[in-house]
Amino acid sequence: MKRIRQISVFVENRPGRLLEVVDLLGKNGINIKALSLADSSDFGIVRLVVKGVDDAIKVLKENGFTVRETPIIACMIEDKPGSLAKILKTLAENEINIEYMYGFASPIEGKAVMVFKFSETEKAQEILDKHNIKMLTQEEIREI
Amino acid sequence: MIYDDEMETLPREALEALQLKRLQNTVERVYNLVPFYRRKFEEAKVKPEDIKSLDDLKRLPFTTKQDLRDNYPFGLFTIPLEQVVRVHASSGTTGKPTVVGYSKRDVDVWSDLMARSLAATGVTKGDIIQNAYGYGLFTGGLGVHYGGERLGATVIPISGGNTKKQIMIMKDFGSTVLTATPSYTLYLAETMKEMGIKREELKLKVGILGAEPWSDEMRKAIEEKLGIDALDIYGLSEIMGPGVAIECIEAKNGLHIWEDAFIPEIIDPETGEVLPDGEEGELVITTILKEAIPLIRYRTRDITRIIKEPCKCGRTHRRIERIKGRTDDMLIIRGVNIFPSQIESLLMETEGVEPHYQIIVDRVNNLDTMEIIVEVSENIFSDEIKHLQKLKERIEKDIKDLYGITVKVTLSEPKTLQRFEGKAKRVIDKRKI
């Protein structure tokens, strides 16, 4: 299974809440590989890809956060103009809907990593496989 | 103006004699026709023939809202449904409402009492009543409507809401009387100001306001903004509906309770002991003219006191003071009665929601607002905003559908709600009434 583990954290929409999440992980030696913040008028969801998922979940829960783990897909693409557009075009042509996506902080020289949550994960994976788009495993995420 | 001169100014002695006769008839009626009452009377070891004076009333057992629920829907009716011409209901804790029925004569008596009430505020048959109480299961709309027609006034059955249209009609039709909740009246006044309509452009002279607690400060604000007399009306569906008690325009101090139809008592809500006139406690009402569903010593949960001093208007029926509050946790939001437990059971029925919630009631721009803060547990948490939004909207819609009030649901992190002595404080009422 080419899935990676994403942690989602519920936060109220008020100053300093994101800091608390990030600070907690930092103090516990957990490295954040990728992060995105989705917000509505009164709450937000922090989505994280980290090194040390189990520790991260444990420490967040211990500190009273509501946490959920979601399997998502991480694609490695060329770090050059037009490569993201190419992937999105393939997905669009095959009518794959993206729920949300975000990028990794500088992973490997010359490469970029994007994470996706699709409405139909199985189907998306098939399409990506067929078009030889490289998907990362949890082990590979740990390495980068 | 006094609508029924003979009855409204009946000397106390004659009034009390009439009350006793009607009480005896009612007690006899419920004892013979309603198994629930017979059982309760037997448990209290009292028989109809024991009621020899008004003082004997206190020997009878109380009736509560729970008793109405336990006998849902028609269990306390004394007449078969074919003789019932109308039913009304108010919301109940588990979604099941409290149901009341009316015989033809009940509707007739109600219309008379309501006509009396309107007349006591100075309304005559020449008036145009803009009735902004809700029509439907709630008694407010139809109660005022029938009373207004009985009096011979012109009734505009506009019901609640649609504020700008209300104001247009009020102006164009030349409405002279407004019947509404006090908070809605203030909201109307604010909206008028926004629309650039001055009070001089209206013919409004009196507001008959009720269905929720209010204060003399609110009265002053309404009177100043609209240039009217604002009078308090009291009623509850279990007893009849609006028109149980009314403030007279002459004194504007306390509400005359129509004692030829109702016997009021004030009790200590803890002990159930009857308190003397003038002392504050819970209002208990016995209906002595109702046919379909007479209630014996019904506990209203409303806190007030009886003013026994005669009123300058000449009516002999005693007055109750403006309702001060409740002995239970019932909230009145824009005239709608709602218990925190109703919100709780609705949340519990929503999949995955844990009973960690808080209700915040406030009054913004003179309108009651209710916010429900729900803690997000792992069961309902999702990595997608739209799922959480949907959950929020579903709760808001369910409450709107069931209780007819618009609430705002806010999702919060777990354990952010204050907890007192291990128990969460469920309701925070910020309204300054």
Residues B175 and B314 in one domain: yes
Residues B94 and B144 in one domain: yes
**DSSP helix/strand/coil, A83:** helix
- Candidates B248, B256, B199, B196; CA nearest to B228 is B199
pLDDT tens string B233-248: 999 999 999 999 999 9
Residues B301 and B370 in one domain: no
Residues A63 and A33 in one domain: yes
Q: Residue A65 maps to which CATH number?
A: 3.30.2130.10
Expressed as residue numbers, the domain containing A105 is 71-143
CB-based contact B385 A40, cutoff 8 Å: yes
Based on the structure, what is the number of domains in chain A? 2
Residues B317 and B246 in one domain: yes
The Cα A88–Cα A101 span in angstroms is 11
Residues B345 and B324 in one domain: no
Q: Residue A82 maps to which CATH number?
A: 3.30.70.260
Chain A residues inside the 8 Å CB shell of B416: 12
> What is the average pLDDT across B27-41?
97
Pick the last residue of a domain from B286, B306, B328. B328
CA torsion A48→A54→A56→A57, rounded to 10°?
A: 80
CB-based contact B411 A42, cutoff 8 Å: yes
Residues A35 and A79 in one domain: no
What is the nearest CA distance from A110 to chain B, expressed in angstroms? 30
Residues B65 and B162 in one domain: yes
Q: pLDDT-derived band of residue B377, with 50, 70 and 90 as boundaries? A: confident
Expressed as residue numbers, the domain containing B424 is 332-429
Residues B189 and B258 in one domain: yes
| Cα-based distances in Å from B360 to A95, B182, B337, B390 | 45, 20, 15, 21
ipTM: 0.85
CA torsion A42→B414→B358→B343, rounded to 10°?
A: 100
Structure tokens at B76: 């306390």
Residues B152 and B35 in one domain: yes
Residues B158 and B287 in one domain: yes
Pick the last residue of a domain from B328, B358, B375. B328
Low-confidence ranges of chain A (pLDDT < 70): 1, 105-107
**Which of B354, B386, B413 to mutate to probe the A interface, most A CBs <10 Å?**
B413
Pick the last residue of a domain from A35, A70, A105. A70
pLDDT tens string B96-150: 789 999 999 999 999 999 999 999 999 999 999 999 999 999 999 999 999 999 9
Tell me the CB-side half-sphere exposure of residue B87, using CA atoms within 13 A.
Answer: 17
Q: Residue B340 maps to which CATH number?
A: 3.30.300.30
Residues B219 and B366 in one domain: no
Residues A62 and A80 in one domain: no
pLDDT exceeds 90 at position B68: yes
The residue behind tokens 């809907």 is: A97
Residues A36 and A12 in one domain: yes
Pick the last residue of a domain from B328, B351, B378. B328
Residues B306 and B348 in one domain: no
- pLDDT of B422: 43
Residues A77 and A139 in one domain: yes
Based on the structure, what is the number of domains in chain B? 2
pTM: 0.74
Residues B358 and B263 in one domain: no
CB-based contact A6 B382, cutoff 8 Å: no
Higher pLDDT among residues B297 and B191, named by residue:
B297
Residues A84 and A119 in one domain: yes
CB-based contact B381 A68, cutoff 8 Å: yes
Residues A18 and A41 in one domain: yes
- pLDDT of A43: 92
